[in-house]
Chains A and B, each alone.
Chain A
C-alpha cells in the first residue's frame, strides 16, 4: 500500500459517531465467494455484478475486472478473493439477497424491509443487525441478527414473550410447526380467523434463516406478506363489500339481498363488529363500494385486508336473515339499574370480557350472580324476558 496513513485518515472521517453501533467483522464464506464466481461466469465482459460500493466483471480472458470507485483493476481469482474478502459485508449482503432469499417478490420485499435494505447502507445495517433489529408483524416480534459470516438469523415469537429467554419457551425450527401454534387460542378455543389478536404465546422460532422466516410468518398470518407487498407496489386489488356480496352463491347467495340501496349503515356495523383492531389485525382497506367509504376506522395493522373474509361473509349471511325481520314493540319494566345491567352484559360479551369478571364482583353488571339473579327475576318459565312472549300469538 502506497499511502496507508491517508487511507486510514479517510476512513476515520467516515467513522460513525461514538455511540453508533459498531460494524461487526464479517468473514467471507466460501459459498458466497463461489456464488460470485458463478455469477461472473454467466456475465459478459463489461457487464459487472454490482455490490454496494464496487463491482466485478469478467475480463476478456480468464481474469476479472474489479472496480471500486473509478479505478477498475484487472486481477486473477486469488486477488479477487482478497478484494472481496476485504469487503465481505457487502459481498455477503449480495449473497443473502441474490442467492439465499431469491427473486420471489413478497419474500424478497419482506426480508429487505426487515432491515431496511433499500434505505440503509450495508455498514449501518450490519451494525444494527449485530445489535438485533426488531420488527412487529401482527402479534409477532421478529428479531433479525447477522452472524460473523454475514448470514441472517431471525427469532420469531409472540410480542408478549419479547425478552423471555428461549429456554423458557417451546422452541421450534420447522416453519410448518407454526400451524399447530395458530390453531387454538390460549384457552384452547379454535381460531377461525388467523389474524384475530388471539395468538397464544409461549413458543419461539429462535434461529431461522431468511426463507424459513418468511414461511413461518406466512404460516401464522397467511397471505399477509403477499398482500402487503402488493400494497407497497401500488397493486393491491381491493374488492369492496358490494362486489364481494354480489359474487356469493349457494347458501351465501342470500347476502346480496342485504344491500337494498338504502345506505350502508349495516356494513358499518359489520366492520365495527368484526374488523376492528380488537377483533382482527388486518387493516381493512375494503369499503362499501369504490365510491362509498365506510364511516368506521379500518385499523392500524401493518398488513391490509383486501376484501371481506369468509368469516365476515358467513356472519353476513346470518345477519341478512336476522335483519330481514321487522322491529316490534315489546313492553316490560326494568329498573334503571337493570337497563344498565343489560347494557353491561352486552358490552362484556362483545368485548370478550366475561372471563375476567370475578365471581364475587357484584359491582359488575355482567357478573354471573348478578346475571343469574336478573334471569331468576325477569324470565318466565319459557325463558321470556319480562314474561313477554317473542311472538304475540304465543300468549
Chain B
C-alpha cells in the first residue's frame, strides 16, 4: 500500500496557509495514484509529530510543500518526523538538488522516503510559467511580457535566493518572455523598484511562496506600489510608473503544484501510473481557441 504525506507549514492565524496543501492533496487523491494521501503541518493538525501515525501504508512518501532547502526541510521536519539517523548529507545537495532519503521513522518504526522540497524541483519552473498563464488568462503569454520571480533574498536563507535564480534562469533559457528577472524582498535587485528593472510594458510578478499570507498579500503588493495599503486591494493588472504589473499571488496556489508533489514522489520511487499526465491535463489553463 502506497501512501503520500504532504507536509507544510500551516498557520495559527491564517486559514489560507493550509488551503493549497489541501487542494493539491485533493488533486492527487483524484488521480488514484496513492492508496492514501495525508497532510501534516508544523502549525496545524495533525502535527508533523503525529501525522505518520495516521498513515496506513508501507510505502510512505513524504513531500515537503516548502519553497527551498533550509531550516524546515533540513532540521525541523526530519526531527519532528523522528527520522532515525537523519543527516543533511543524506541529501548530498548543493542547496537545490535534494532528492530523497530513505530512513526509518521512529514514530511508526517503518521506512519512509523523505523527499526534497517542491520548490527546488525542476518541474516547479513549469508551475511558475503556468501561474503567469493563469493570471493573464492567456495560455501563450510571453511575447511583449516580462516575468519577475520574487522571494526572500539570502538574508533569511541562502538557498531561498538560489531557488529563485534557478527557476528564473530556466525560464529565461526558454526565450518565451521578453525578459525574466529574479527579484528579492530584502536585497538587491529589490522588488520595490520593479519598473526600473524591466523595459516591457507588461510584467507578470510571481512570488515564490507556497501559500498566500502576509508576504504575498500585504508586504509585496505594498512594496511594489500596487496599493498604498493592502486593505484597499488592487487590480490585475495594476499600472505602476507606466508598467502594467500582473500580480500573480503565491505560486503555490497554482493547481499544477500537485504535479511537482507527484514528481518528488516519483523521483523517490513511487509508482504513479498515468497520474502525472492526468494532473498536467486537469490543471491546464484553457488555450482560448
Question: In the docked arrangement, what's the CA distance between A363 and B108, Å?
Answer: 56
Contact with B along A183-209 (1 / 0, CB 8 A): 110000010111100000000000000
Q: Which of B13, B49, B71 has a CB less than 8 Å from the CB of A190?
A: B13
Interface set, chain A 76-120, CB cutoff 8 A to B: 104, 106-107
**Are the CB atoms of B51 and A223 closer together than 8 Å?**
yes
B44 vs chain A, min Cβ distance (A): 7
B102 vs chain A, min Cβ distance (A): 22
Question: In the docked arrangement, what's the CA distance between A115 and B14, Å?
Answer: 39
| Partner-binding segment picked from A2-10, A63-71, A309-317, A367-375 | A309-317
Q: Which residues of B contact A250 (CB under 8 A)?
A: 71, 75-76
Interface set, chain B 31-59, CB cutoff 8 A to A: 42-47, 49-51, 53-54, 56
A232 vs chain B, min Cβ distance (A): 14
**Are the CB atoms of A190 and B45 closer together than 8 Å?**
no
**Are the CB atoms of B15 and A194 closer together than 8 Å?**
no
Q: Which of B11, B26, B43, B75 has a CB less than 8 Å from the CB of A176?
A: B26
Q: Which of B49, B54, B71, B79 has a CB less than 8 Å from the CB of A218?
A: B54
Nearest chain B residue, comparing its CB with the CB of A311: B12
Contact with B along A300-326 (1 / 0, CB 8 A): 000000110111001000000000000
**Are the CB atoms of B71 and A226 closer together than 8 Å?**
no
Question: In the docked arrangement, what's the CA distance between A222 and B51, Å?
Answer: 8
- Residue A227, interface by CB 8 Å: yes
**Are the CB atoms of B15 and A226 closer together than 8 Å?**
no
B23 vs chain A, min Cβ distance (A): 11
- Residue A249, interface by CB 8 Å: yes
Number of interface residues of A (CB under 8 A): 28
**Are the CB atoms of A310 and B76 closer together than 8 Å?**
no
Q: Which of A184, A193, A195 has a CB less than 8 Å from the CB of B15?
A: A184
Q: Which residues of A contact B12 (CB under 8 A)?
A: 192, 310-311, 314
- Residue A73, interface by CB 8 Å: no
**Are the CB atoms of A310 and B43 closer together than 8 Å?**
yes
Q: Take A250-B76, A309-B47 as given contacts and tell me if A190 and B15 are in contact as well, using a CB distance cutoff of 8 Å.
A: yes
**Are the CB atoms of A223 and B79 closer together than 8 Å?**
no
Number of interface residues of B (CB under 8 A): 24
- Residue B22, interface by CB 8 Å: yes
**Are the CB atoms of A307 and B56 closer together than 8 Å?**
no
A73 vs chain B, min Cβ distance (A): 38
Q: Which residues of B contact A190 (CB under 8 A)?
A: 13-15
- Residue A247, interface by CB 8 Å: yes
Q: Take A104-B56, A190-B14, A218-B54 as given contacts and tell me if A307 and B49 are in contact as well, using a CB distance cutoff of 8 Å.
A: yes
Q: Which residues of A contact B53 (CB under 8 A)?
A: 106, 223, 226-227, 230
B25 vs chain A, min Cβ distance (A): 9
Nearest chain B residue, comparing its CB with the CB of A225: B54
Question: In the docked arrangement, what's the CA distance between A176 and B27, Å?
Answer: 13
Question: In the docked arrangement, what's the CA distance between A192 and B44, Å?
Answer: 7
- Residue A339, interface by CB 8 Å: no
Question: In the docked arrangement, what's the CA distance between A247 and B51, Å?
Answer: 18
Interface set, chain A 237-293, CB cutoff 8 A to B: 237, 247, 249-250
**Are the CB atoms of B79 and A222 closer together than 8 Å?**
no
A214 vs chain B, min Cβ distance (A): 10
Q: Which residues of A contact B50 (CB under 8 A)?
A: 222-223, 226-227, 306
Q: Which residues of A contact B42 (CB under 8 A)?
A: 310
- Residue A179, interface by CB 8 Å: yes
Nearest chain B residue, comparing its CB with the CB of A193: B45
A106 vs chain B, min Cβ distance (A): 8
Nearest chain B residue, comparing its CB with the CB of A309: B47
Interface set, chain A 14-57, CB cutoff 8 A to B: none
Nearest chain A residue, comparing its CB with the CB of B106: A237
Question: In the docked arrangement, what's the CA distance between A310 and B56, Å?
Answer: 24
**Are the CB atoms of A192 and B13 closer together than 8 Å?**
yes
**Are the CB atoms of B22 and A179 closer together than 8 Å?**
yes
A109 vs chain B, min Cβ distance (A): 13
A236 vs chain B, min Cβ distance (A): 11
Q: Which residues of B contact A183 (CB under 8 A)?
A: 15
Q: Which residues of A contact B44 (CB under 8 A)?
A: 192, 194, 310
Q: Which residues of B contact A306 (CB under 8 A)?
A: 50
Contact with A along B206-234 (1 / 0, CB 8 A): 00000000000000000000000000000
Q: Which of A179, A223, A237 has a CB less than 8 Å from the CB of B46?
A: A223
Question: In the docked arrangement, what's the CA distance between A44 and B79, Å?
Answer: 46
A249 vs chain B, min Cβ distance (A): 6
Q: Which residues of B contact A309 (CB under 8 A)?
A: 45, 47
Q: Which residues of A contact B54 (CB under 8 A)?
A: 106, 218, 222-223, 226
B56 vs chain A, min Cβ distance (A): 5
Question: In the docked arrangement, what's the CA distance between A321 and B50, Å?
Answer: 28
B32 vs chain A, min Cβ distance (A): 15
Nearest chain A residue, comparing its CB with the CB of B45: A222
**Are the CB atoms of A249 and B75 closer together than 8 Å?**
yes
Nearest chain B residue, comparing its CB with the CB of A105: B56
A–B pairs, 19, beta carbons within 8 Å: A106-B53, A106-B54, A107-B56, A194-B44, A195-B45, A218-B54, A222-B46, A222-B50, A222-B54, A227-B50, A230-B53, A237-B107, A249-B76, A250-B71, A306-B50, A307-B49, A309-B45, A309-B47, A314-B12
A190-B13, A223-B51, A230-B53 are known; give 17 further A-B pairs, CB within 8 A: A107-B56, A184-B15, A194-B44, A194-B45, A195-B45, A222-B46, A222-B50, A223-B50, A223-B54, A226-B50, A226-B54, A249-B75, A249-B79, A306-B50, A309-B45, A310-B42, A314-B12
Cβ-closest 10 pairs across A and B? A222-B46, A192-B12, A222-B45, A223-B50, A223-B46, A226-B53, A104-B56, A194-B45, A190-B15, A226-B54
Which residues of B are interface residues toward A (Cβ below 8 A)?
A: 11-15, 22, 26, 42-47, 49-51, 53-54, 56, 71, 75-76, 79, 107
Which residues of A are interface residues toward B (Cβ below 8 A)?
A: 104, 106-107, 176, 179, 183-184, 190, 192-195, 218, 222-223, 226-227, 230, 237, 247, 249-250, 306-307, 309-311, 314
